[in-house]
Amino acid sequence: MRAPRSTPPLRKARPPGTGTPTRTSDEATIAGAITRAQRSGCLVINLFTPDVALPDDIEALGARIVEAVLSHISALDETASITVSESSTPSECSLSISALTAYAPVLEARPIDEIQALAASLGGSVDTDAQVGTWTLTARLPTAADTPS
C-alpha cells in the first residue's frame, strides 16, 4: 500500500516590491465581469456578444454596472438564474440583465441609485421591468463621440 503523497500548494512568485497582484486584461470588461461572476458560483448565462467594438470607457462602465446589478440580485436571491445580453450600434450599447427569481417584485421596488449614477456618468440611462418571476434591468450607454466627458 502506497503512502499518500504530500503536494505543496502551488503559488506564483511575485517580483519583489510589487505589493498587489496585477490585474488581467479582461478585468475592466463586460465579458470579464460575467466570467468572474460565473467563477464565483453565480448562475449567469452569457449572451453578451458585442456587434461593434466598444470603447474602453464603455467596457469599464459596463463591467461596473454588471457587477452592481449582480450584487443587487444576489442580495435577495443567490440562486437566481441570470441572463446578460447586449446589442450595440456605433452610437449606443444596450446591456440587459434579467433574473429569473421569485423576488422580481422586490427587486423592482428596491432603489438602484448607484446603478443609475454609473450609467448617467457617461450620459446613459437605466430602466427596469418586472414581470411574473422575472426582473430585468436595461442600461443604455452612448458609444459615439458625443459622449459627455
Reported as a single tens digit per residue, the pLDDT across 90-104 is 889 999 999 999 999
Least confident of 3-17, 22-36, 67-81: 3-17
| Cβ neighbours of residue 125 closer than 8 Å, sequence gap 6 or more | 116, 119, 139, 140
Q: Residue 4: phi, psi to the nearest 5?
A: -60, 140
Question: What pLDDT is recorded for position 97?
Answer: 96
Residue with the bigger pLDDT between 1 and 63: it is 63
The reported pTM is 0.77
pLDDT score of 37 more than 80: yes
| Cβ neighbours of residue 27 closer than 8 Å, sequence gap 6 or more | 36, 63
Locus of grid cell 443567490: 78
Question: What pLDDT is recorded for position 25?
Answer: 55
Strand 81-88 vs strand 44-47: parallel, antiparallel, or unpaired? parallel
How many alpha carbons lie under 13 Å from residue 62 in its C-beta half-sphere?
Answer: 30
Residue 143 grid cell? 458609444
Q: What average pLDDT is seen over the chain? A: 82
Crossing angle (nearest 10°) for helices 56-74 and 113-120: 170
Question: What pLDDT is recorded for position 52?
Answer: 78
